[in-house]
Structure formats: C-alpha cells, structure tokens
Structure 1
C-alpha cells in the first residue's frame, strides 16, 4: 500500500509508510509545556507570514521533534490558521509511541507522523516552514550543520528551518532562521516584565551559538553590547520596562548592529539580527 494521497493528508491523516528511510536523529527528552513556543509562533505569524501567503497551495508547516506532548503542534496550527486558514501542520516525532499518543488529536489540517530531520511527508510534499525547537540543543555542536543541511534540502521554495531553544515556560527564547543557502538571521526574545538584563538569554542560545559565547566571538560581543545598552538606558525605566527596552534596541541599531526589525517587534521583547553579525569564528 502506497503513501496516503495529498487529499487524505489534508484531512489530517498522516499514518502509513510515507518513507522507507530510517528516521534521522535520536529521541529527545521530550519536555514541553503549553504556550512554550508562543514567541516563535508569533514571529512565524508576523514577519514570516508572507511565506505562508505566497504558497500556491495549502502551505505545509512541520513541528519537528514536538516531544512527549503534541500541544505545541496543536497550538501552531491554531495560530497559523489566522494567516492561512488552509495551513497544514504536521507534528513529526522519531518516537512512534509519541506519534501514536498524538493521533487522537488529528483533525483537518493537523496530522502526526514518525520521522526525523529527513522530514518525511506524504506524496513527497515540501514544507514552507520546519520548526525544530529544543531538538538540536540535545545534540553535539558538530552535528548541527549536517542536521540543517538534511532538513533544508526538504524545504519548499522560500521555505525556512527555524532552529530554536527556549526555557521551560517560554519566557526566554532564541532561534536561527536557516535556508538551503545557510543561516540568515538570529532572533532573541524575552518576557520583558521582570527582566533583569537581556544577557540572560545566553543560557538559551541555539546549539550553533551557545558554546561560542566566549570572549572573542561575535555572539559574546552582541550580548555584552546588549547588557551595556540596557544599563545605559536605566533612566528610561521610569517610563516602564518596555520603553527601556525600546531605547536599548535603538542604541544598538545606532551603534551599527544590523537589526532586521523595528519598534513594532521590539515592543514584544524581540530582536532579530542578520546572521553575519553573530556567525561563529571558525575553530581549529
């Protein structure tokens, strides 16, 4: 019996042998919580929404390595439907038991399948977005480039891999946007209320950068500059923490950091920079 047809897939049924290839990757710890990935979802439904709108047919979005609970895939589908009502979200997990547990939640536009970085989809369909959060964090840094290459090779035109990390409640997050040509941007996102200093996001950097947060590396210079800008803008706290963050972001832009967004995103506690500004130096 062959793989299900695209029509069947759109009905939310992704069961069946869509590939003979052994899943690429290893089972992750699977920790997740409701709303944990809301910051990235907001970015996908905001600055990246054009990728969904441009798709000539129903755009496919993959939640790769969603973990022990399928809640993040369900939430992703709900949020992206505001952009494209016909969006199809597929939760892909390497653990068959996790997929079996998620299957009762399938519905039109939402399905689940067994797989890994090779991103198996019915009918060899290609995703517009693959979101892989808290997945590569559990791998060795030497494996990141290979995982990126494997996954981006499966993308649709104008497609994007989002490789990110966040804390357990989603209050601190960062992610790299990766195309088949390589990484293009780094986004940092904070819950502003109660924020002591922006440099705390260092503990949630993506795997490609977390071990590079040392003197002499661009990402270390970025976080140091952010903390310095935050400290200089302390008087703005009298007008609220959001105003202080906006002022710090403006001072970063004025200092020459290539910020790709503006005040509408900064107000959300979000900064996106060109990857070239933080790309790691080549090691020995």
Structure 2
C-alpha cells in the first residue's frame, strides 16, 4: 500500500487567472529554462485543476516540452481534476488538447516514479493554514525532491491575483529571495502585500522586524513618488523603487514594469 500523502486538505479555493503573476515569474526562471527535464509540480491545485492548466500554457511558451504534475491530497479533487483533463483532451475547453498536465495523489513528499525530480515546485496558498513552526519541515520535504539547481516557489495571493508574494527556495531548503507582485492600477499602498505574506513572514510584520521595515519603506517611497502619477502607475512604481534602491538591495529591475519587486531573503528574514 502506498503511504498516505503528507499534509492537510486545504480549502481548495481557486480561480481562473489567479496565479498569473507567479506563473510569469517561473516562466523566465533559469530552473525552468536551463533544465534538461522541465517537469513542474503544482502542489495543492485545489478544487479545480485550472491553475495547473494555466501554468502549463504559460510555461510552454518558454519550454514547449514542459510537463505539469498537479498534486492533491484529497482523492475526490484528483478524480474531479482527471475528469476536467479528459474534457481538455477531448477538445471541449479553451485549453490545448495536447496539454501536458496530469493529476495525482500527493502532498509535501512529492511522489514521483523512479529517480525523476521536478525542476520547479509551485506551492501556492498551501501553508496559510499551518503554524509557522511547520514551515521549515514543509520547505525541507519539498526542496529535498527538487532536481539539481531546481527551485521551490512558495507563496500566497489574494482571491483574484492582484496581490501576491512568494519566496524562492533552493534544493538545500534555504530561501533566497522574496518577491512582491501587485496590480499597480488603483493601488493605494504597496503594504497591502502584508495581508498575503508567506507564512514564514506574515506574523513578523511588526515594528523592529526587517519585513516591516521593507514594506514601510515601500509605502513611503510610493507616497513620495505621487508626482509621477501623471505618467501612469508604472512610472510611479519605478520612481519609488529607484529611490528605495539607494538603501535596499532590490533585484530584477527588468521586472519592475510588471509591478514586481524582489529582495534577497536576508534583507527581510525574521529577526526573532
């Protein structure tokens, strides 16, 4: 008998286009582009496998040979996902009939046959219901299954994907970066991201903690850049990040136009 999947059943909330921001980020990551085996795991796809289908559609533009494995610990969700995939292959949906997506039972142990290992694991909105103390073990279990130079992308977003944050974690289970991605049109304060911080950070958004200092600085510079609003929210965002970069080690400047900002994990890691 196969061992039981490791983890808890999530609420299963999902929705079309919800994970577009992190999908775009994964699509340009070296872990996907340079691997010889572009296997990507979508851990905890929820009540519908639509986000795994969208992930495959976005990634195949960068890697036409990509495969996506959706994992769920709820057998009923796996059965439902397989029915959805049958409809896709029958040409009854907007997704390509030759989509390389499958659904299997599994959790943090990332069950795969033989010695195959994924180049990317996306675990979104999975750890929100856990205690913070459970995060290191979950990271370690998932990261241990990665291919060499692979990446675990663990994060959270709001219900419609306008606010998202995620941590990139290497095969050694050590986090490397935090990314904040926001819809800039209509944005009042970038610190809205605090509501969707990964579990490892969300309880540390208090004075004295690095992540609080980071989000506070982001708010301040966003306010100071208000004069650039006449040129659009992207210019205002860029102006805010240019000012922040004098004091913060911001990365991926080319991604700023998408409403993203990435910092090394060490700049925001919990102090306590």
Normalised TM-score (structure 2): 0.93
The C-alpha deviation readout for 1:26-64, integer Å capped at 9, x for no partner, is 000000010000000010112x1x22232223x110000
Q: Secondary structure at the match of 2:70?
A: strand
**Match of residue 136, structure 2, among 145, 153, 156:** 145
SS of the aligned residue for 1:233 comes to: helix
Matched residue, 1:78: 57
Task: Name the SS of the counterpart of 1:150 in structure 2.
Answer: helix
1:175-203 deviations in Å (ceiling 9; x for gaps): 00011330000000000000001011110
- Take 2:101 and 2:46, find their aligned partners in 1: how far apart are those partners? 16
User: 1:266 is matched with which residue: 239, 256, 262?
Assistant: 256
User: CA contact under 8 A between 2:108 and 2:142: conserved in structure 1?
Assistant: yes
Residue 122 (structure 1) shift: 2.4
Of 35, 42, 50 in structure 2, the residue corresponding to residue 63 of structure 1 is: 42
For 2:57 and 2:244, how far apart are their aligned partners in 1?
34
User: Residue 157 of structure 1 is aligned with which of 127, 144, 148?
Assistant: 148
C-alpha distance in 1 between matches for 2:118 and 2:42: 10
Corresponding residue number in structure 1 for 2:230: 238
The CA RMSD over aligned residues, in Å, is 1.2
Q: How does 1:73-152 map to 2 (within 5 A)?
A: 73-104=52-83, 105=85, 109-152=100-143
SS of match in other structure, 1:122: coil
Secondary structure, counterpart of 2:114 in structure 1 = helix
**Structure 1 residue 108 displacement after superposition:** 5.2
State how far apart, in whole Å, the 1-side matches of 2:20 and 2:204 are: 26
Separation of aligned partners in 1, 2:75 and 2:110: 15
Match of 1:51 among 27, 31, 37: 31
Q: 1:258, CA displacement in angstroms?
A: 1.1
Aligned to 1:7: none
CA shift for structure 1 position 67: 0.5
Q: Structure 2 regions of 5+ residues with no counterpart?
A: 87-97
Residue-by-residue CA offset, 1:214-271 (whole Å, 9 max, x unaligned)? 01000000011000111111111121111110000111112x2111110x31111000
1:277 aligned to 2:257?
no
- State the 4+ residue runs in structure 1 displaced beyond 3 angstroms: none
2:194 corresponds, among 197, 202, 217, to 202
- Asked if 1:30 corresponds to 2:5, the answer is no
Aligned length: 259
Deviation at 1:23, TM superposition (A): 0.8
